[in-house]
A and B are shown apart, each in its own frame.
Chain A
């Protein structure tokens, strides 16, 4: 129902800049996920949009309405019509579920309670819930009620602050789906902040990566994952194998062979970023493990493996390359530690110019880190 536009937002706590020139546009009726570690400034960004913090510089516009302009306009939170779903929900323990949901409605509508029941159903809870007390609900139900409460007054924009934290995996997936469908049915524009990559990538029409107060890249999830703007972003949105290489003519030469580049214009010494699932494994002598992909003739030794159910991560040591790398493979036929395997890379890879020269003999710790570079899950 309204586009959110943040321009050049600077915010600080005392001397320390928490947000440095953040620009964000969320299109009408879409959800943008802001992905950042704790302390990256993502909650501060929400609080600036809400009006709980006054930014030092920059403007916030919701639809046609300028709600905050540093040094000028600062609408108080209650005048912004911006819905807010706090971490863990923040339901009112002194009110029933129905009263919580209708909390922000005008008195007449609160009495009628029609809207409350309607919104409860919207988030996938039956009318029976209206009479319950918040502490009787499960964690997932509490989050849904919190969303229902935010949606009840039909705000054009809703902000969700880590709305699924502390929920177990199954509940998380179910609650995410309920939230997405409720938002979509109301056509509400939404911003969700999270530190969970999978959550951001699966929920956002666009995903913005916030690192140390800077919004480094905002893009559609697939684009962000396949073509991250920087190595930091690459490591943050997923696991990354990073190898030194030399680029030219749309090809990068690296320890995994000559690989096609996504951005064909890069030349010179680079750091090559490959997603672990792009690396396929064949048993050195007995034939294919993975499917498709041409062998590169690169041989590695399996050092360890981690089983995740549908897939496994295989830790590998390349011949002549000091740091270990990892590959993520589907299926049940996973090589044993100690086996020698042949590697192949599927699809295009990304290269970042400016790789340091590689001393092969005596790798420093930083150098080793440069090789392995897996992001924390």
Chain B
């Protein structure tokens, strides 16, 4: 069947939009001339930064993969006590903005500010992405696959290695891809640490007033890394996009009894939750306690309500736009295959090609030249946030849409509805849980975003994040605490919605 040209055109447009900041950055780098670029790149630290960034990604990515895989399997395949609660707690770190975690770790111990601190923060903040994807895949996997393996004499461990893991390969690689790309351009996590990566150094270039061209040239290294990773992943994945051969049985799997392993497993989960979620919560409690002692702390609290409103509205608007951008791409990726489709889908990952800050500046720069109307308005910020998190929305939507029988859409077409009306009356209603999950995921990330808001937020507005940043900048930790607390509460609400929706379709309940 030929690809539907309308859908492909829309998807290419989305890909182009997402790639625009990269194009602008290239232009910026060229404008600065060769000398500025050379100065920035040949700065003595550059090779070290490059190495730091790669080392970090090399440690964080497998760690997230392993943690996500282990936790998803325990929650979805064993009778571990309290698995619904664990599922929620395991995703909860998504609700904590990285710059808050960063402060928490730096406060905890100065020994945590180096490489291992950075690796720890990023690992414990990103593994929930892998967990979410794998838990959703495990839920929809045909239980008969594992049952057959056991009937053939394989125990839990060998069934995992020979059936579950290969079947999860595509989801695992997809999750790790998100982690590695996000790590390469991560900046927020390192604000309070003295750990230097490419992104941190780009940030310094701007802060210290060096030429924007130099920073642009430097950040193109990130683009290079991003492209290399994307190409590498597509080779690794090969044909691993396993389609279900049959619908299989719609019933729960026979879960493993943990028996004597119950205590160690519970201990491991508790330790993980304590490290990933407990530490930032502990820091907040500490700051609140401090505020209680010094009194006068609630000075800055007046800005809390307007900042909350701004943050929520920004989050909701960005989520809507991101879902709108992601939907056509997800549909194309699920319903069709081939080189062009994969290329289009993967090109949305170019939103990870630049550090957030650089992308934001590129967007501002581009808008100031060609789109004066939106320059300096919230519209631009919403668009920028949406572009930044489109890949997450695509991933969340793809899982759900993949569960919708194509025949449902076919029969709608046969009943005389065009593609758009079919989308609106069949696909969208069925995919509603996935749409919600995608939106909420983006919402949670927008809550935790700092760099983009700092560059593009119109004068006079503050978000919870920027206010937190301003207060911690002036060491007013007690004043910063309420902002972080509201952020985390909002994030937890989002997490709850996310957990009940991710990778599900209406009417199919728990597979």
A residues with a Cβ closer than 8 A to B are 47, 50, 52-53, 76-84, 86-95, 103-104, 134-135, 142, 146, 149-150, 153
CB-defined contacts of A135 to chain B, threshold 8 Å: 243, 245
A79, A89, A93: residue with the most chain B Cβ atoms closer than 10 Å: A93
CB-defined contacts of B144 to chain A, threshold 8 Å: 86-88, 90
Q: In whole angstroms, how far apart are the Cα atoms of A135 and B152 in the complex?
A: 22
B244 — nearest CB in chain A belongs to which residue? A93
- Residues of B230-275 at the interface with A, using a CB-CB cut-off of 8 Å, are 240, 242-249, 254
B254 — nearest CB in chain A belongs to which residue? A52
**8 more A-B contacts (CB under 8 A) besides A87-B249, A88-B248, A94-B242?**
A76-B150, A86-B142, A86-B147, A87-B246, A88-B245, A90-B142, A95-B166, A153-B152
B residues with a Cβ closer than 8 A to A are 142, 144-145, 147-155, 159, 162-163, 166-167, 169, 240, 242-249, 254
CB-defined contacts of B245 to chain A, threshold 8 Å: 88-89, 91, 93, 134-135, 142
CB-defined contacts of B151 to chain A, threshold 8 Å: 50, 77-78, 80, 82-84, 104, 150
Closest chain A CB from B159 CB (angstroms) = 8
> Are B246 and A88 in contact, with the CB atoms below 8 A?
yes
**What 7 pairs across the A-B complex have the smallest Cβ distances?**
A104-B152, A86-B144, A90-B144, A88-B246, A84-B151, A52-B254, A94-B166
CB contact between B246 and one of A80, A90, A94, A153 (< 8 Å): that residue: A90
> Are B163 and A92 in contact, with the CB atoms below 8 A?
yes
CB-defined contacts of A153 to chain B, threshold 8 Å: 152-153
Q: In whole angstroms, how far apart are the Cα atoms of A282 and B154 in the complex?
A: 63
Given the known A-B contacts A53-B254, A88-B248, A92-B163, are A149 and B242 also in contact in the complex, defined by CB atoms under 8 Å? Answer: no
Q: In whole angstroms, how far apart are the Cα atoms of A52 and B254 in the complex?
A: 6
> Are B248 and A93 in contact, with the CB atoms below 8 A?
no
B242 — nearest CB in chain A belongs to which residue? A93
CB-defined contacts of B147 to chain A, threshold 8 Å: 50, 52, 77, 84, 86, 90
Q: In whole angstroms, how far apart are the Cα atoms of A92 and B162 in the complex?
A: 10
10 contacts between A and B (CB under 8 A): A50-B147, A52-B254, A53-B254, A77-B150, A78-B151, A86-B148, A86-B248, A90-B248, A103-B149, A134-B245
Q: In whole angstroms, how far apart are the Cα atoms of A229 and B478 in the complex?
A: 81
CB-defined contacts of B254 to chain A, threshold 8 Å: 47, 52-53, 77
Closest chain A CB from B377 CB (angstroms) = 49
CB-defined contacts of A104 to chain B, threshold 8 Å: 149, 151-154
> Are B153 and A78 in contact, with the CB atoms below 8 A?
yes
Closest chain A CB from B504 CB (angstroms) = 22
> Are A78 and B169 in contact, with the CB atoms below 8 A?
no
CB contact between A86 and one of B159, B162, B163, B249 (< 8 Å): that residue: B249
Given the known A-B contacts A94-B167, A94-B169, are A103 and B152 also in contact in the complex, defined by CB atoms under 8 Å? Answer: yes
Closest chain A CB from B9 CB (angstroms) = 30
CB-defined contacts of A86 to chain B, threshold 8 Å: 142, 144, 147-148, 248-249
Closest chain A CB from B306 CB (angstroms) = 51
CB-defined contacts of B148 to chain A, threshold 8 Å: 84, 86, 90, 146, 149-150
Q: In whole angstroms, how far apart are the Cα atoms of A136 and B19 in the complex?
A: 38
> Are B154 and A78 in contact, with the CB atoms below 8 A?
yes
Closest chain A CB from B87 CB (angstroms) = 22
A89, A95, A146, A149: residue with the most chain B Cβ atoms closer than 10 Å: A89
CB contact between A90 and one of B145, B154, B159, B240 (< 8 Å): that residue: B145
A104 — nearest CB in chain B belongs to which residue? B152
CB contact between B162 and one of A83, A89, A103 (< 8 Å): that residue: A103
Q: In whole angstroms, how far apart are the Cα atoms of A135 and B241 in the complex?
A: 13
CB-defined contacts of B154 to chain A, threshold 8 Å: 78, 104
A52, A142, A153: residue with the most chain B Cβ atoms closer than 10 Å: A52
Closest chain B CB from A183 CB (angstroms) = 16
A146 — nearest CB in chain B belongs to which residue? B148
CB-defined contacts of B167 to chain A, threshold 8 Å: 92-94
> Are A93 and B153 in contact, with the CB atoms below 8 A?
no
Closest chain B CB from A145 CB (angstroms) = 11
Q: In whole angstroms, how far apart are the Cα atoms of A53 and B244 in the complex?
A: 25
Q: In whole angstroms, how far apart are the Cα atoms of A165 and B155 in the complex?
A: 29
CB-defined contacts of A76 to chain B, threshold 8 Å: 150, 155
Closest chain A CB from B429 CB (angstroms) = 27
Q: In whole angstroms, how far apart are the Cα atoms of A92 and B159 in the complex?
A: 12
CB-defined contacts of B155 to chain A, threshold 8 Å: 76, 78
CB-defined contacts of A94 to chain B, threshold 8 Å: 166-167, 169, 240, 242
CB-defined contacts of B169 to chain A, threshold 8 Å: 94
CB-defined contacts of A95 to chain B, threshold 8 Å: 166
Closest chain B CB from A107 CB (angstroms) = 11
Closest chain B CB from A319 CB (angstroms) = 48
